[in-house]
Amino acid sequence: MVTTSHRPIRNSVESQAPNVCLSLSGFSSMGSRRDNFELERSVRLCVSPVCSNSKGIGKGEVGKVQDPTSSTLVAEPSLDSSVVGSSLRFFKSSTDWTDNAQAASHERFSQQSHDLQPSRLALVRDRLRDESFSGTSAKRIAGAKRRSTSRVYDAKWHIFTQWCQQENIVPTKISIQRLADFFNFLFDVKSLRPSTISGYRSSISNTLKHFGRNDISTHVALTDLFQFYNRERPVVRSLTPQWSLALVLDSLTKAPYEPLRSASLKFVTLKTVFLLALASARRVSEIHAFSIDPQCFRLTADHLILLTEPGFLAKNQLPHKAPHPIKIKSLSNFDQDSAVLCPVRAVKFYLDATKVRHTACNRLFLSLKGGGVAHRNPQFHDGLLK
């Protein structure tokens, strides 16, 4: 009689064959599955008086281990304590190996989860939800910044979290001392300008303020550190490439830009965009948002009044203030050379050339690819600079 922690094992018939036969049903191989031996919980060890194989499994031989979920272990008639002890030690070592494999798998999963850092906005939203804000409120609070600013902050936050991962630091629990190390990394290794590093500071401060960290933008040590950056790497001003406005305007009075009536749509667009940018003194994003909706557009023989499309927010525009309309006077009453450079005249020709395509879009400037689609901002910016 051999006793385990759960049930006794009894050998009713003595035999001289010191063999143990494992009769297991299930898969013929484990493949990629983990073996999970649970001898003392769900597997029965029985002593059978009948031996189907007089030799059984001898010492040193290895049998095929199959899926033990519905297994019954059958021992040969001769089963002494040493054999049972060896068998139990085998299953115990297998169980330990399985536990170690499961622990290693959990560690790898945890490492993978650590690698998949949440985005900045998702992190802020989750934090707000933990503070019992509704999903709608959390989304709106996290999206308080303008879309362009949010994209810049997201990019800088991603670089910050990558550095924290390499240093085994939780980004939301970083100390001021380690944050100073990150700024030094940007200054020494990345060779960034102090103004650029200040952008990283703003991104981190704007994110971690939701975690109770209000010291990042005001800590005196970080302020002194940035004073050092500014002293060691002062701002360097470089002259813009020299160009002649008179030369550019003179080229717009000749082919392929004139006469406008016979010029291609590409050159009509380029001339109109340039003259309108020069006359309005607006940013590319604002020119891109000019609308021909009746509420935003007035065109007469003497002047042109423009507004950006509803909902557009200029970079320097306060959200609670409406944009001012832009009024551009016509140059038709001036001499002939000035008349061909009139932005109002150019807009008239441009609208006449695109009147069919404008039925599908209210943006003033459409893509040259056709289809009545507005210019994408990057394409519009590139076209304006060429």
CATH number of domain containing 257: 1.10.443.10
**DSSP secondary structure letters along 334-349:** S-HHHHTT-HHHHHHH
pLDDT of the residue at 334: 83
Give the tens place of pLDDT for each residue, 157-187: 999 999 999 999 999 999 999 999 999 999 9
Q: Do 209 and 336 share a structural domain? A: no
Q: Do 207 and 147 share a structural domain? A: yes
**Mean pLDDT (the chain, rounded):** 76
Q: Do 306 and 220 share a structural domain? A: no
Outline where DSSP puts E strands in the chain. 2-3, 8-9, 20-23, 44-47, 72-75, 297-299, 303-306, 326-329
pLDDT of the residue at 59: 44
| 98 in any annotated domain | yes
Domain termination residue (choose one: 96, 113, 130): 113
Select the highest-mean-pLDDT range: 60-74, 84-98, 205-219.
205-219
pLDDT of the residue at 234: 94
Q: Minimum mean pLDDT among 212-216, 284-288, 326-330, 373-377: which range?
A: 373-377
Range of the domain at 41: 2-113
pLDDT of the residue at 15: 46
Decide if 343 contacts 386 (C-beta within 8 A).
no
> Based on the structure, what is the number of domains in the chain?
3
pLDDT for residue 22 is more than 70: no
Q: In which band, very low, low, confident or very high, does the pLDDT at 300 lie, cut at 50, 70 and 90?
A: very high
Instruction: Report the CATH number at residue 194.
Output: 1.10.150
Q: Do 137 and 99 share a structural domain? A: no
Domain termination residue (choose one: 113, 129, 154): 113
Please give the C-alpha separations between residue 254 and each of 249, 250, 332, 348, 370, in angstroms, as whole numbers.
Answer: 9, 7, 18, 18, 26
Domain termination residue (choose one: 78, 113, 148): 113
Q: Do 103 and 151 share a structural domain? A: no
| 237 in any annotated domain | no
Q: Do 304 and 362 share a structural domain? A: yes
Percent over 90 (pLDDT), the chain: 51
| 167 in any annotated domain | yes
Q: Do 95 and 146 share a structural domain? A: no
**Burial environment of residue 285 by CB neighbours within 10 A (0 to 12, 13 to 18, 19 or more):** middle
pTM for the structure as a whole: 0.55
- CA pair distance 210, 127, nearest whole angstrom: 7
Select the highest-mean-pLDDT range: 63-77, 97-111, 272-286, 366-380.
272-286
Q: Do 226 and 252 share a structural domain? A: no
Secondary-structure percent of the chain, ordered helix, strand, coil, rounded to 5: 50, 10, 45
Q: Do 107 and 126 share a structural domain? A: no
Q: Minimum mean pLDDT among 168-172, 330-334, 338-342: which range?
A: 330-334
Q: Do 138 and 85 share a structural domain? A: no
- Section 4-28 average pLDDT: 48
| 238 in any annotated domain | no
Q: Do 96 and 7 share a structural domain? A: yes
| 240 in any annotated domain | no
| 267 in any annotated domain | yes
- Section 16-38 average pLDDT: 44
| 239 in any annotated domain | no
Give the tens place of pLDDT for each residue, 281-290: 999 999 999 9
Q: Do 370 and 253 share a structural domain? A: yes
